[in-house]
Amino acid sequence: MSKTSRVVVSMPKTAKKGEIIPIRVIVQHDMESGFRHTERGVLVPRDIIRDFVCTYDGVDVFRAELHPAVGANPTFSFFTVATQSAMLEFKWSGDNGYASSLTSQLVVT
């Protein structure tokens, strides 16, 4: 697995102030559990994403701590309150120096 990969975030571009908006994120990653073996019985080392965080104008609004039991290509659906127009930043980090991030602008009216 490369040190970074594709991520997709789906969220509304605009929202009314105080509105609860849904956010759905997905990241391309094998999430190698560390419990699988090759056909010759060699253990495949663990290589997973450990942490996901969503910040809204610099403030953490959602964080997930991942373990090997999270399925491949981890996806999360969660909510946040639209408080003001700002940048939302999404960051993933994991084993073997894995890191990826994405920012998305939200306009609040």
Of 47 and 102, the one with the shorter C-beta distance to another protein is 47
Least distance CB 76 / another protein (angstroms)? 5
Least distance CB 90 / another protein (angstroms)? 15
Of 4 and 32, the one with the shorter C-beta distance to another protein is 32
Contact between 60 and 54 (Cβ < 8 Å): yes
- Enumerate binding residues for another protein (CB under 8 A): 20, 33, 35-41, 44, 56, 59-72, 74-81, 83
Least distance CB 97 / another protein (angstroms)? 22
